[in-house]
Amino acid sequence: MKRKAIALLSGGLDSILAVKMMLDLGIEVEALHFTSPFYSYTDKNSDCRSEVVGIANKYNIPIKIMNEKLDYIEMLRNPVHGYGKGINPCVDCRIYLLKKAKEYMIETGADFVFTGEVLGQRPMSQRRDTMRVIERESGLEGLLLRPLSARHFEPTIPEKEGWVDRDRLLAIEGRSRKTQMQMADDMDVREYPPPAGGCLLTELSYVPKVRDVFDHAEELNLRDFRLLKTGRHFRLTPKSKAVMGRSEADNNRLEEIRQSGEAALTWLDGNTPVAIIIGDQNDEIFRLSARILLRYTKAEPGAECHIELRLNDTKQVFSVINDMNPAAVDTYLVA
């Protein structure tokens, strides 16, 4: 009887190699990929969803894209196992993903779950002790196979039952990718992304943005967290903030995601960022936002400047004085 397994496919080399190994061992594989509002890519044109679908198509395996939901955000607010150096709950995050993988394993009638994890590659979630905790608390004890490092651990049920040949599993350890790159050559895995991008929650500069949402949102929603990847954020009042583009790409993105009832501001007298107002909308907030916006233009200090405000289907122009110095602006800057 051919056995079926669920692969956690991130799209990185390790997860690709793990899939290739399982296929070569005669396992029927179905991939599961999680999207997150907190993942960034070095290549701004990168689309991880299309990349992993392309990988799945290449190896002729089904793939399901699963979005992290509000229960993930609630876990992020109070992780049982704490944070890393940033606001990264790596152990709890891994448990969350594997719990979802277990549910999908049961739903699809698969026999076990496997990942491309390597012992010692990541400092928080891939230590020997934490990998055991993750396996136990995810409910996958005995059914979680890590083929790249399997021989560093006690045999799993798939190995004990002979579903996979333990002698063909590996004992990779540490942060170096040399072994995996050689494996890729040997296994004719020619296309894979370089190690790049990563979880924004590990970046110390990102922590204030997340904390600001937790501190001020009356009701958590994923859109608030997705927005954190774009532009500069300014806390204007407890119930309002301005998000300002750093680049043309940011400006375009802010225009795309601006919702009904949210104002957009631009400076009419020269090149300008776009600023959108999230939360409360009123004249005082618009004027404060405009004065902050002018800090990031070439407007002359003390000059009277014309600001276009777009709200729903209306446009209006108002004037403000460019009178805020950098220190005053920084009192509103979140990050």
Residue 1: per-residue pLDDT: 81
Please calculate the CA angle 72-78-80 and round it to the nearest 5 degrees: 95
Break the chain into its structural domains and give their ranges: 4-199, 230-330
Counting beta carbons within 10 angstroms of the beta carbon of residue 139, is it exposed (0 to 12), middle (13 to 18) or buried (19 or more)? Answer: middle
Residue 60: per-residue pLDDT: 96
Specify the length of the chain in residues: 335
The whole-model pTM stands at 0.90
- Give the CB-side neighbour count of residue 319, counting CA atoms within 13 A: 5
The pLDDT tens digits for 244-279 are 999 999 999 999 999 999 999 999 999 999 999 999
Adjacency order of strands within the sheet including 112-114: 63-67, 28-35, 4-8, 112-114, 144-145
Whole-number Å distance between alpha carbons of 190 and 56: 15
Those residues of the chain that have pLDDT short of 70 are 41-48, 194-197
- Residue given tokens 């010692």 in the structure block: 120
Whole-number Å distance between alpha carbons of 225 and 67: 13
User: Does CATH number 3.40.50.620 belong to domain 4-199?
Assistant: yes
Strands in the chain per DSSP E: 4-8, 28-35, 39-40, 63-67, 112-114, 144-145, 198-199, 232-237, 240-244, 264-267, 275-279, 304-311, 314-321
Residue 47: per-residue pLDDT: 56
